[in-house]
Amino acid sequence: DAIEQEQAFLHASQGTEYLNRLELALKRIRDGSYGICEDCSAKIPVKRLEAYLAAELCIECKSKQEKLRRG
């Protein structure tokens, strides 16, 4: 039961995180900055936005961010 509860909590928190990111994407749409990388200001390719609507970074900047997180 404890493992199932932990998994349910994890899924719920991931869902909440994604909803928060979608809200931020809607804000960027309203202010005209949607589809612009927040790090380098390059246009985020449409294919990336179609795959992940809440994308804030272009693929290159996202890759750099992931490499830094991994150390």
C-alpha to C-alpha distance for 34 and 49, rounded to whole angstroms: 9
Note if the pTM is more than 0.85. Answer: no
pLDDT of residue 2: 75
**pLDDT at 1 > cutoff 90:** no
Q: What is the mean pLDDT of residues 26-46?
A: 97
Could you tell me the CA-to-CA distances from 35 to 5, 8, 17, 40, 58 in Å, in that order? 37, 32, 19, 12, 9
pLDDT at 9: 65
Confidence at residue 49, expressed as pLDDT on a 0 to 100 scale = 95
Closest CA to 54 of 13, 23, 14: 23
pLDDT in tens, 38-58: 999 999 999 999 999 999 999
